[in-house]
Chains A and B, each alone.
Chain A
Amino acid sequence: MNQRVAIVGVAQTRYQSSRDDARVFELTFEVVERLLDETGLSIWKDINAVVSSGDDYVDGKGISNDQITEVVGAQYRAEHKVAADGAFAVRYALLQVLSGHHDAVMVTAHCKESMIDQNLINNLAFDPLYQRYLGFDLVSAAALQAQRYMHKYGITPEQCAKVVVKSLKNAKNNPYAQVAQDITIEEVLRSPLLADPIRTLDCKPVSDGACALILASEQKAKRITDKPVWIKGIGSCYDAFYLGDRDLADCDSLVVAAQRAYKMAGINNPRNEIDVAEISGEFSYQELLWYEGLGLCGRGEGGKLIDQGVTKMGGELPVNPSGGLLSGCPHHVAGVARVAEVALQMRGEAGARQVPGAKTGLAHGITGPCGQLQCVIILGS
Protein backbone atom coordinates (compact mmCIF):
# COMPACT_ATOMS: atom_id res chain seq x y z
CA MET A 1 0.00 0.00 0.00
CA ASN A 2 1.27 3.47 -0.91
CA GLN A 3 -0.17 5.08 2.19
CA ARG A 4 -0.24 3.64 5.68
CA VAL A 5 -3.59 3.13 7.43
CA ALA A 6 -3.87 2.35 11.14
CA ILE A 7 -6.41 1.04 13.60
CA VAL A 8 -6.52 3.68 16.34
CA GLY A 9 -9.12 2.23 18.68
CA VAL A 10 -11.36 -0.79 19.25
CA ALA A 11 -14.36 -1.61 21.46
CA GLN A 12 -16.36 -4.80 22.02
CA THR A 13 -19.38 -5.73 24.08
CA ARG A 14 -19.14 -8.80 26.20
CA TYR A 15 -20.60 -11.61 24.10
CA GLN A 16 -23.66 -13.22 25.65
CA SER A 17 -26.14 -15.94 24.73
CA SER A 18 -28.94 -13.38 24.86
CA ARG A 19 -29.00 -9.61 25.25
CA ASP A 20 -32.75 -9.29 25.55
CA ASP A 21 -32.20 -6.10 27.55
CA ALA A 22 -31.20 -4.18 24.43
CA ARG A 23 -31.95 -3.70 20.73
CA VAL A 24 -29.19 -4.25 18.19
CA PHE A 25 -28.91 -0.48 17.73
CA GLU A 26 -28.42 -0.02 21.44
CA LEU A 27 -25.69 -2.67 21.44
CA THR A 28 -24.01 -0.76 18.62
CA PHE A 29 -24.23 2.50 20.54
CA GLU A 30 -22.63 0.82 23.56
CA VAL A 31 -19.44 0.16 21.59
CA VAL A 32 -19.49 3.40 19.59
CA GLU A 33 -19.78 5.47 22.78
CA ARG A 34 -16.91 3.59 24.43
CA LEU A 35 -14.75 3.84 21.31
CA LEU A 36 -15.19 7.63 21.12
CA ASP A 37 -14.53 7.98 24.85
CA GLU A 38 -11.33 5.96 24.65
CA THR A 39 -9.94 7.66 21.54
CA GLY A 40 -11.17 11.14 22.52
CA LEU A 41 -12.52 11.57 18.99
CA SER A 42 -15.63 13.52 18.07
CA ILE A 43 -18.20 11.69 15.97
CA TRP A 44 -18.93 14.97 14.13
CA LYS A 45 -15.51 16.58 13.87
CA ASP A 46 -13.23 13.55 13.45
CA ILE A 47 -15.15 10.63 11.93
CA ASN A 48 -15.79 11.18 8.20
CA ALA A 49 -17.57 7.97 7.25
CA VAL A 50 -19.01 4.77 8.66
CA VAL A 51 -19.17 1.20 7.39
CA SER A 52 -21.47 -1.12 9.31
CA SER A 53 -21.83 -4.89 9.11
CA GLY A 54 -24.99 -6.81 9.92
CA ASP A 55 -27.71 -8.91 8.35
CA ASP A 56 -31.21 -7.61 7.65
CA TYR A 57 -32.74 -11.09 7.89
CA VAL A 58 -31.24 -11.61 11.35
CA ASP A 59 -32.20 -8.09 12.42
CA GLY A 60 -35.77 -8.77 11.23
CA LYS A 61 -36.00 -5.71 9.01
CA GLY A 62 -36.15 -4.94 5.32
CA ILE A 63 -34.16 -1.76 5.12
CA SER A 64 -30.53 -1.58 6.09
CA ASN A 65 -30.42 1.95 7.43
CA ASP A 66 -33.18 1.29 9.96
CA GLN A 67 -31.94 3.05 13.10
CA ILE A 68 -28.27 2.13 12.61
CA THR A 69 -27.59 5.56 11.09
CA GLU A 70 -28.71 7.22 14.33
CA VAL A 71 -26.30 5.36 16.60
CA VAL A 72 -23.24 5.70 14.37
CA GLY A 73 -23.63 9.44 13.71
CA ALA A 74 -24.59 8.96 10.08
CA GLN A 75 -27.73 11.07 9.94
CA TYR A 76 -27.28 13.75 7.24
CA ARG A 77 -24.00 12.00 6.39
CA ALA A 78 -23.05 8.65 4.85
CA GLU A 79 -23.10 5.10 6.13
CA HIS A 80 -22.35 2.03 4.05
CA LYS A 81 -23.57 -1.44 4.84
CA VAL A 82 -21.78 -4.77 4.41
CA ALA A 83 -24.10 -7.76 4.50
CA ALA A 84 -21.15 -10.13 4.88
CA ASP A 85 -18.68 -10.75 7.69
CA GLY A 86 -17.35 -7.63 9.36
CA ALA A 87 -13.81 -8.29 8.07
CA PHE A 88 -15.15 -6.98 4.75
CA ALA A 89 -16.40 -3.82 6.47
CA VAL A 90 -12.79 -3.29 7.60
CA ARG A 91 -11.71 -3.75 3.99
CA TYR A 92 -14.17 -1.10 2.70
CA ALA A 93 -13.21 1.32 5.48
CA LEU A 94 -9.56 0.82 4.54
CA LEU A 95 -10.39 1.65 0.91
CA GLN A 96 -12.21 4.82 2.01
CA VAL A 97 -9.13 6.02 3.90
CA LEU A 98 -6.85 5.02 0.99
CA SER A 99 -9.04 7.09 -1.35
CA GLY A 100 -7.61 10.15 0.39
CA HIS A 101 -11.07 11.63 0.89
CA HIS A 102 -11.45 10.45 4.49
CA ASP A 103 -8.90 10.46 7.29
CA ALA A 104 -10.92 8.59 9.93
CA VAL A 105 -13.55 5.93 9.21
CA MET A 106 -15.49 3.97 11.79
CA VAL A 107 -16.41 0.30 11.39
CA THR A 108 -19.27 -1.20 13.38
CA ALA A 109 -20.73 -4.71 13.44
CA HIS A 110 -23.80 -5.90 15.27
CA CYS A 111 -25.78 -9.11 15.54
CA LYS A 112 -28.26 -10.64 17.94
CA GLU A 113 -28.37 -14.26 16.88
CA SER A 114 -30.77 -14.97 19.74
CA MET A 115 -33.51 -13.08 17.87
CA ILE A 116 -34.30 -15.93 15.50
CA ASP A 117 -33.41 -19.57 14.87
CA GLN A 118 -30.17 -19.17 12.92
CA ASN A 119 -30.80 -22.32 10.89
CA LEU A 120 -33.92 -20.73 9.39
CA ILE A 121 -31.96 -17.65 8.37
CA ASN A 122 -28.97 -19.59 7.10
CA ASN A 123 -31.16 -21.87 4.98
CA LEU A 124 -31.58 -18.75 2.81
CA ALA A 125 -27.87 -18.96 2.00
CA PHE A 126 -28.66 -21.86 -0.32
CA ASP A 127 -29.80 -21.65 -3.93
CA PRO A 128 -33.62 -21.47 -4.08
CA LEU A 129 -33.78 -23.46 -7.34
CA TYR A 130 -31.74 -26.54 -6.53
CA GLN A 131 -30.76 -26.70 -2.85
CA ARG A 132 -32.72 -24.50 -0.44
CA TYR A 133 -35.86 -26.63 -0.09
CA LEU A 134 -33.75 -29.65 0.75
CA GLY A 135 -33.35 -27.86 4.09
CA PHE A 136 -29.61 -27.24 4.22
CA ASP A 137 -28.22 -24.77 6.75
CA LEU A 138 -24.73 -23.87 7.97
CA VAL A 139 -24.65 -26.77 10.45
CA SER A 140 -25.57 -29.52 7.98
CA ALA A 141 -23.31 -27.99 5.32
CA ALA A 142 -20.43 -27.87 7.81
CA ALA A 143 -21.09 -31.51 8.67
CA LEU A 144 -20.73 -32.42 4.98
CA GLN A 145 -17.42 -30.55 4.91
CA ALA A 146 -16.16 -32.03 8.19
CA GLN A 147 -16.97 -35.56 7.04
CA ARG A 148 -15.14 -35.06 3.74
CA TYR A 149 -12.15 -33.32 5.37
CA MET A 150 -11.74 -35.94 8.08
CA HIS A 151 -12.14 -38.78 5.56
CA LYS A 152 -9.64 -37.41 3.04
CA TYR A 153 -6.89 -36.55 5.51
CA GLY A 154 -7.55 -38.88 8.45
CA ILE A 155 -8.32 -36.01 10.84
CA THR A 156 -9.73 -37.51 14.06
CA PRO A 157 -12.65 -36.40 16.25
CA GLU A 158 -10.11 -36.09 19.09
CA GLN A 159 -8.07 -33.57 17.09
CA CYS A 160 -11.22 -31.51 16.43
CA ALA A 161 -12.15 -31.76 20.13
CA LYS A 162 -8.72 -30.37 21.03
CA VAL A 163 -9.71 -27.13 19.26
CA VAL A 164 -12.73 -26.84 21.57
CA VAL A 165 -10.62 -27.58 24.66
CA LYS A 166 -8.02 -24.98 23.65
CA SER A 167 -10.61 -22.33 22.75
CA LEU A 168 -12.64 -22.55 25.94
CA LYS A 169 -9.47 -22.63 28.05
CA ASN A 170 -8.07 -19.54 26.31
CA ALA A 171 -11.43 -17.82 26.78
CA LYS A 172 -10.87 -17.87 30.56
CA ASN A 173 -8.40 -15.01 29.94
CA ASN A 174 -10.89 -13.00 27.87
CA PRO A 175 -13.34 -10.77 29.77
CA TYR A 176 -15.51 -10.48 26.62
CA ALA A 177 -15.94 -14.25 26.15
CA GLN A 178 -19.35 -15.87 26.50
CA VAL A 179 -18.21 -19.42 27.30
CA ALA A 180 -14.98 -20.08 29.19
CA GLN A 181 -14.20 -23.31 30.99
CA ASP A 182 -11.85 -26.20 31.46
CA ILE A 183 -13.32 -29.05 29.50
CA THR A 184 -11.90 -32.41 28.46
CA ILE A 185 -11.68 -34.05 25.04
CA GLU A 186 -13.96 -36.80 26.41
CA GLU A 187 -16.62 -34.25 27.40
CA VAL A 188 -16.58 -32.77 23.89
CA LEU A 189 -16.89 -36.24 22.36
CA ARG A 190 -19.78 -37.08 24.70
CA SER A 191 -21.82 -33.98 23.76
CA PRO A 192 -24.89 -34.76 21.59
CA LEU A 193 -24.43 -35.26 17.85
CA LEU A 194 -26.13 -32.58 15.75
CA ALA A 195 -25.07 -33.76 12.30
CA ASP A 196 -22.34 -36.41 12.12
CA PRO A 197 -19.51 -35.81 12.88
CA ILE A 198 -20.42 -32.42 14.42
CA ARG A 199 -21.50 -32.35 18.06
CA THR A 200 -23.02 -29.48 19.99
CA LEU A 201 -19.68 -28.54 21.58
CA ASP A 202 -18.02 -28.47 18.14
CA CYS A 203 -20.22 -25.47 17.21
CA LYS A 204 -19.99 -21.85 18.13
CA PRO A 205 -22.81 -20.98 20.53
CA VAL A 206 -25.70 -18.64 19.72
CA SER A 207 -24.34 -15.23 20.59
CA ASP A 208 -25.30 -11.54 20.80
CA GLY A 209 -22.93 -8.60 20.70
CA ALA A 210 -21.32 -5.73 18.85
CA CYS A 211 -17.84 -4.49 18.00
CA ALA A 212 -16.47 -1.24 16.58
CA LEU A 213 -13.13 0.17 15.54
CA ILE A 214 -11.69 3.26 13.90
CA LEU A 215 -9.28 3.35 10.96
CA ALA A 216 -7.24 6.48 10.31
CA SER A 217 -4.69 7.81 7.86
CA GLU A 218 -1.07 7.81 9.01
CA GLN A 219 -1.05 11.53 9.73
CA LYS A 220 -4.30 11.44 11.69
CA ALA A 221 -3.41 8.19 13.47
CA LYS A 222 -0.22 9.68 14.90
CA ARG A 223 -2.23 12.55 16.36
CA ILE A 224 -4.73 10.17 17.98
CA THR A 225 -2.51 7.51 19.52
CA ASP A 226 1.11 6.65 20.19
CA LYS A 227 0.23 3.01 19.52
CA PRO A 228 -1.23 2.85 16.01
CA VAL A 229 -1.75 -0.66 14.62
CA TRP A 230 -0.92 -0.71 10.92
CA ILE A 231 -2.81 -2.67 8.30
CA LYS A 232 0.03 -4.35 6.43
CA GLY A 233 -1.87 -6.55 4.04
CA ILE A 234 -5.34 -7.72 3.11
CA GLY A 235 -6.68 -10.37 0.76
CA SER A 236 -10.05 -11.94 0.07
CA CYS A 237 -11.35 -14.65 -2.23
CA TYR A 238 -14.58 -16.48 -3.08
CA ASP A 239 -14.85 -20.21 -3.58
CA ALA A 240 -17.56 -21.82 -5.76
CA PHE A 241 -21.09 -21.27 -4.50
CA TYR A 242 -22.34 -24.84 -4.95
CA LEU A 243 -20.85 -27.13 -2.33
CA GLY A 244 -20.65 -29.93 -4.91
CA ASP A 245 -18.41 -27.78 -7.15
CA ARG A 246 -15.65 -27.85 -4.56
CA ASP A 247 -13.63 -30.52 -2.84
CA LEU A 248 -14.80 -29.53 0.63
CA ALA A 249 -11.70 -31.13 2.17
CA ASP A 250 -9.61 -28.25 0.84
CA CYS A 251 -10.11 -24.51 1.23
CA ASP A 252 -8.67 -23.14 -1.99
CA SER A 253 -10.24 -19.70 -1.56
CA LEU A 254 -8.45 -19.24 1.77
CA VAL A 255 -5.16 -20.22 0.15
CA VAL A 256 -5.63 -17.42 -2.39
CA ALA A 257 -6.86 -14.85 0.16
CA ALA A 258 -3.91 -15.59 2.46
CA GLN A 259 -1.35 -15.41 -0.36
CA ARG A 260 -2.72 -12.02 -1.44
CA ALA A 261 -2.48 -10.69 2.12
CA TYR A 262 1.00 -12.16 2.68
CA LYS A 263 2.29 -10.71 -0.59
CA MET A 264 1.04 -7.24 0.32
CA ALA A 265 2.55 -7.51 3.80
CA GLY A 266 5.84 -8.95 2.53
CA ILE A 267 5.39 -12.20 4.45
CA ASN A 268 7.22 -15.21 3.02
CA ASN A 269 6.91 -17.73 5.84
CA PRO A 270 3.66 -17.11 7.74
CA ARG A 271 4.35 -19.63 10.47
CA ASN A 272 7.65 -17.95 11.35
CA GLU A 273 6.72 -14.34 10.72
CA ILE A 274 3.27 -14.17 12.36
CA ASP A 275 3.23 -13.95 16.16
CA VAL A 276 -0.48 -14.37 16.84
CA ALA A 277 -3.62 -15.18 14.84
CA GLU A 278 -7.34 -14.74 15.48
CA ILE A 279 -9.28 -16.87 13.01
CA SER A 280 -12.98 -17.53 12.41
CA GLY A 281 -13.80 -21.17 13.04
CA GLU A 282 -17.56 -21.57 13.46
CA PHE A 283 -16.96 -25.27 14.00
CA SER A 284 -13.98 -27.01 15.58
CA TYR A 285 -12.79 -28.78 12.38
CA GLN A 286 -12.68 -25.41 10.60
CA GLU A 287 -9.81 -24.16 12.74
CA LEU A 288 -7.71 -27.14 11.60
CA LEU A 289 -8.73 -26.69 7.96
CA TRP A 290 -8.03 -22.94 8.09
CA TYR A 291 -4.52 -23.64 9.50
CA GLU A 292 -3.90 -25.43 6.21
CA GLY A 293 -5.43 -22.72 4.04
CA LEU A 294 -3.38 -20.08 5.84
CA GLY A 295 -0.23 -22.06 5.08
CA LEU A 296 0.66 -22.64 8.75
CA CYS A 297 1.08 -26.33 7.82
CA GLY A 298 0.70 -28.52 4.76
CA ARG A 299 -2.60 -29.89 3.41
CA GLY A 300 -4.09 -32.46 5.74
CA GLU A 301 -1.70 -31.50 8.56
CA GLY A 302 -4.09 -29.34 10.61
CA GLY A 303 -4.65 -32.16 13.10
CA LYS A 304 -0.92 -32.70 13.52
CA LEU A 305 -0.41 -28.98 14.15
CA ILE A 306 -2.79 -28.95 17.11
CA ASP A 307 -1.35 -32.25 18.39
CA GLN A 308 2.08 -30.60 18.47
CA GLY A 309 0.74 -27.71 20.53
CA VAL A 310 1.99 -25.14 18.00
CA THR A 311 -1.20 -23.05 18.25
CA LYS A 312 -1.80 -23.10 22.02
CA MET A 313 -0.92 -20.21 24.32
CA GLY A 314 2.83 -20.41 24.77
CA GLY A 315 3.18 -22.33 21.50
CA GLU A 316 5.11 -21.22 18.45
CA LEU A 317 2.07 -19.41 16.94
CA PRO A 318 -0.86 -19.00 19.36
CA VAL A 319 -4.20 -19.09 17.51
CA ASN A 320 -7.27 -17.53 19.10
CA PRO A 321 -5.96 -16.37 22.50
CA SER A 322 -9.44 -14.83 22.88
CA GLY A 323 -11.14 -18.22 22.61
CA GLY A 324 -12.33 -17.41 19.10
CA LEU A 325 -15.85 -18.00 17.83
CA LEU A 326 -16.26 -21.23 19.82
CA SER A 327 -16.20 -19.14 23.01
CA GLY A 328 -19.03 -17.00 21.62
CA CYS A 329 -19.16 -14.26 18.99
CA PRO A 330 -22.00 -13.62 16.55
CA HIS A 331 -21.79 -13.69 12.76
CA HIS A 332 -20.81 -10.35 11.18
CA VAL A 333 -19.28 -9.20 14.48
CA ALA A 334 -16.84 -12.13 14.30
CA GLY A 335 -14.48 -10.68 11.68
CA VAL A 336 -14.32 -7.20 13.23
CA ALA A 337 -13.77 -8.75 16.65
CA ARG A 338 -10.89 -10.84 15.26
CA VAL A 339 -9.30 -7.62 13.94
CA ALA A 340 -9.99 -5.87 17.28
CA GLU A 341 -8.42 -8.73 19.24
CA VAL A 342 -5.28 -8.73 17.07
CA ALA A 343 -5.10 -4.92 17.38
CA LEU A 344 -5.14 -5.28 21.18
CA GLN A 345 -2.33 -7.87 20.87
CA MET A 346 -0.26 -5.46 18.72
CA ARG A 347 -0.74 -2.70 21.31
CA GLY A 348 0.26 -5.02 24.14
CA GLU A 349 -3.16 -4.39 25.70
CA ALA A 350 -4.65 -7.89 25.55
CA GLY A 351 -4.41 -8.41 29.31
CA ALA A 352 -4.19 -12.02 30.47
CA ARG A 353 -4.51 -13.27 26.87
CA GLN A 354 -1.54 -11.19 25.63
CA VAL A 355 1.03 -13.04 23.54
CA PRO A 356 4.28 -11.53 24.84
CA GLY A 357 6.12 -9.37 22.33
CA ALA A 358 3.64 -9.93 19.48
CA LYS A 359 4.53 -7.59 16.60
CA THR A 360 2.77 -9.13 13.60
CA GLY A 361 -0.72 -10.59 13.74
CA LEU A 362 -3.30 -12.18 11.46
CA ALA A 363 -7.08 -11.70 11.56
CA HIS A 364 -9.46 -13.80 9.50
CA GLY A 365 -13.14 -13.65 8.62
CA ILE A 366 -15.50 -15.92 6.70
CA THR A 367 -18.94 -15.71 5.12
CA GLY A 368 -21.15 -18.38 3.60
CA PRO A 369 -21.50 -22.14 3.90
CA CYS A 370 -18.22 -24.00 4.52
CA GLY A 371 -16.15 -20.80 4.38
CA GLN A 372 -17.05 -19.85 0.81
CA LEU A 373 -15.81 -16.26 1.19
CA GLN A 374 -12.52 -15.74 3.00
CA CYS A 375 -10.74 -12.59 4.16
CA VAL A 376 -7.26 -12.36 5.68
CA ILE A 377 -5.87 -9.18 7.25
CA ILE A 378 -2.28 -8.73 8.45
CA LEU A 379 -1.66 -6.20 11.20
CA GLY A 380 1.59 -4.90 12.63
CA SER A 381 2.63 -2.71 15.55
Chain B
Amino acid sequence: MKREETEAFVLAQPYSAPYEHATGPVGTRFFTELRDNQKILGMKCSGCNIVYMPPRSTCPRCFAKLEEWVELGDEGTLLTYTVVRYHEPTHPTDAPFAYGIIKLDGADTGIGHLLGEVDLKNISIGMRVKAVFKEEREGNLLDIKYFKPI
Protein backbone atom coordinates (compact mmCIF):
# COMPACT_ATOMS: atom_id res chain seq x y z
CA MET B 1 0.00 0.00 0.00
CA LYS B 2 1.33 3.45 -0.82
CA ARG B 3 2.03 5.62 2.17
CA GLU B 4 -0.25 8.51 1.14
CA GLU B 5 -3.23 6.14 1.04
CA THR B 6 -3.20 5.55 4.77
CA GLU B 7 -3.10 7.89 7.70
CA ALA B 8 -0.19 7.27 10.04
CA PHE B 9 -1.41 6.54 13.56
CA VAL B 10 0.65 7.99 16.38
CA LEU B 11 -0.03 6.98 19.96
CA ALA B 12 0.80 9.70 22.50
CA GLN B 13 2.11 8.09 25.69
CA PRO B 14 3.47 10.40 28.41
CA TYR B 15 5.68 8.78 31.03
CA SER B 16 6.98 10.13 34.30
CA ALA B 17 9.36 8.34 36.61
CA PRO B 18 10.11 9.97 39.98
CA TYR B 19 13.38 8.34 41.07
CA GLU B 20 14.90 8.46 44.54
CA HIS B 21 18.68 8.83 44.27
CA ALA B 22 20.64 8.12 47.45
CA THR B 23 23.31 10.80 47.84
CA GLY B 24 25.77 8.37 49.50
CA PRO B 25 28.25 9.32 52.25
CA VAL B 26 30.14 11.89 50.14
CA GLY B 27 27.04 13.57 48.72
CA THR B 28 25.33 13.57 52.11
CA ARG B 29 28.22 15.40 53.82
CA PHE B 30 28.51 17.85 50.90
CA PHE B 31 24.82 18.72 50.82
CA THR B 32 24.52 18.90 54.61
CA GLU B 33 27.37 21.45 54.83
CA LEU B 34 25.91 23.38 51.92
CA ARG B 35 22.44 23.51 53.44
CA ASP B 36 23.31 24.09 57.10
CA ASN B 37 26.52 26.12 56.93
CA GLN B 38 26.65 27.56 53.39
CA LYS B 39 29.99 25.81 52.99
CA ILE B 40 31.17 24.33 49.70
CA LEU B 41 33.37 21.27 50.18
CA GLY B 42 35.71 19.69 47.67
CA MET B 43 37.56 16.36 47.90
CA LYS B 44 41.34 16.15 47.63
CA CYS B 45 43.48 13.39 46.17
CA SER B 46 46.87 13.87 47.86
CA GLY B 47 48.53 11.45 45.45
CA CYS B 48 47.50 13.51 42.42
CA ASN B 49 47.44 16.82 44.33
CA ILE B 50 44.01 17.59 42.85
CA VAL B 51 40.96 19.00 44.62
CA TYR B 52 37.79 17.73 43.00
CA MET B 53 34.54 19.65 42.73
CA PRO B 54 32.00 18.06 42.82
CA PRO B 55 33.49 15.83 45.53
CA ARG B 56 33.68 12.09 44.90
CA SER B 57 34.80 8.96 46.68
CA THR B 58 37.27 7.65 44.07
CA CYS B 59 40.02 9.48 42.20
CA PRO B 60 39.42 8.91 38.48
CA ARG B 61 43.12 9.44 37.75
CA CYS B 62 44.86 7.16 40.28
CA PHE B 63 41.97 5.05 41.59
CA ALA B 64 42.64 6.03 45.23
CA LYS B 65 39.81 6.07 47.75
CA LEU B 66 39.27 9.72 48.71
CA GLU B 67 38.52 10.95 52.23
CA GLU B 68 40.30 14.31 52.52
CA TRP B 69 37.69 17.05 52.56
CA VAL B 70 38.72 20.60 51.67
CA GLU B 71 36.66 23.74 52.21
CA LEU B 72 36.50 25.76 49.00
CA GLY B 73 35.97 29.48 48.57
CA ASP B 74 32.56 30.79 47.51
CA GLU B 75 34.27 32.75 44.74
CA GLY B 76 35.74 31.41 41.55
CA THR B 77 36.67 31.88 37.91
CA LEU B 78 34.46 31.28 34.87
CA LEU B 79 35.99 28.57 32.62
CA THR B 80 33.26 28.83 29.97
CA TYR B 81 29.62 29.92 29.63
CA THR B 82 26.61 30.00 27.34
CA VAL B 83 23.38 31.95 27.11
CA VAL B 84 20.49 29.51 26.64
CA ARG B 85 17.70 30.85 24.44
CA TYR B 86 15.42 27.81 24.02
CA HIS B 87 12.81 26.52 26.44
CA GLU B 88 12.66 23.10 28.07
CA PRO B 89 10.72 21.84 31.10
CA THR B 90 14.08 20.61 32.46
CA HIS B 91 15.38 24.18 32.77
CA PRO B 92 15.41 25.57 36.33
CA THR B 93 14.56 29.07 35.09
CA ASP B 94 13.04 30.77 32.04
CA ALA B 95 15.19 31.43 28.97
CA PRO B 96 17.17 33.46 28.24
CA PHE B 97 19.52 32.55 31.07
CA ALA B 98 23.21 31.75 31.39
CA TYR B 99 25.11 28.64 32.39
CA GLY B 100 28.75 28.68 33.38
CA ILE B 101 31.41 26.21 34.43
CA ILE B 102 33.01 27.71 37.51
CA LYS B 103 36.35 26.78 39.06
CA LEU B 104 35.98 27.69 42.72
CA ASP B 105 39.01 29.04 44.56
CA GLY B 106 40.81 26.07 46.06
CA ALA B 107 39.42 23.56 43.53
CA ASP B 108 41.14 22.17 40.44
CA THR B 109 38.01 21.15 38.54
CA GLY B 110 34.93 23.14 37.58
CA ILE B 111 31.24 22.77 38.36
CA GLY B 112 28.40 23.65 36.00
CA HIS B 113 25.87 26.12 37.41
CA LEU B 114 23.68 29.11 36.63
CA LEU B 115 24.94 32.68 36.29
CA GLY B 116 22.67 35.36 37.77
CA GLU B 117 22.53 39.13 38.34
CA VAL B 118 24.50 39.30 35.11
CA ASP B 119 24.25 41.27 31.88
CA LEU B 120 23.77 38.44 29.36
CA LYS B 121 25.61 40.50 26.74
CA ASN B 122 28.58 41.00 28.98
CA ILE B 123 29.85 37.62 30.15
CA SER B 124 33.44 36.60 29.53
CA ILE B 125 35.68 33.62 30.14
CA GLY B 126 38.00 34.32 33.08
CA MET B 127 35.41 36.52 34.79
CA ARG B 128 35.35 36.35 38.61
CA VAL B 129 32.07 35.17 40.15
CA LYS B 130 30.65 34.57 43.63
CA ALA B 131 28.06 32.08 44.92
CA VAL B 132 24.71 33.55 45.99
CA PHE B 133 22.99 31.23 48.48
CA LYS B 134 19.26 30.70 48.81
CA GLU B 135 17.53 31.82 52.00
CA GLU B 136 15.61 28.54 52.32
CA ARG B 137 18.05 25.72 51.57
CA GLU B 138 16.99 22.13 50.87
CA GLY B 139 20.20 20.19 50.42
CA ASN B 140 20.85 20.25 46.70
CA LEU B 141 23.09 22.22 44.35
CA LEU B 142 20.37 24.83 43.81
CA ASP B 143 20.95 25.89 47.44
CA ILE B 144 23.41 28.03 45.50
CA LYS B 145 20.90 30.16 43.59
CA TYR B 146 23.51 31.12 41.00
CA PHE B 147 26.93 32.68 40.66
CA LYS B 148 27.07 36.45 40.16
CA PRO B 149 29.90 38.57 38.75
CA ILE B 150 32.12 40.39 41.23
Contact = CB atoms under 8 A, between A and B. Distances in A.
Are the chains A and B members of one assembly?
yes
Given A119-B90, A148-B80, A243 B140 contact: no
A147 interface: yes
Interface in B1-58: 3, 8, 10, 13, 15, 19, 21, 23, 27, 52-54
Nearest to B82: A143
A143 B86 CA distance: 12
Among A21, A196, A241, the one with the most B-chain Cβ atoms within 10 Å of its Cβ is A196
Contacts, number: 111
Interface in A297-329: none
A134 B142 contact: yes
Nearest to A245: B109
Nearest to B100: A144
Given A129-B21, A134-B92, A242-B54, A195 B114 contact: no
A244 B102 CA distance: 8
A195 B115 CA distance: 14
A143 B80 CA distance: 9
A129 B23 contact: yes
A21 B141 contact: no
A100 interface: no
Contacts of A123: 88, 90
Interface string B76-110: 00011111111011111000000101110000011
A130 B21 CA distance: 11
Contacts of A21: 3, 8
Contacts of B142: 133-134
Given A128-B19, A129-B21, A147-B81, A134 B109 contact: no
Contact of A195 (B54, B82, B103): B82
B91 A130 contact: no
Interface string A136-166: 1101100111111001000000000000000
A78 interface: no
A21 to B, nearest CB: 5
A366 to B, nearest CB: 19
Contacts of A33: none
A131 interface: yes
Given A60-B15, A146-B82, A193-B83, 9 more contacts: A21-B3, A123-B88, A129-B21, A130-B54, A131-B112, A135-B88, A136-B99, A193-B85, A248-B101
Minimum-distance CB pairs A-B, first 8: A244-B110, A143-B82, A148-B80, A135-B91, A130-B54, A135-B90, A20-B8, A123-B90
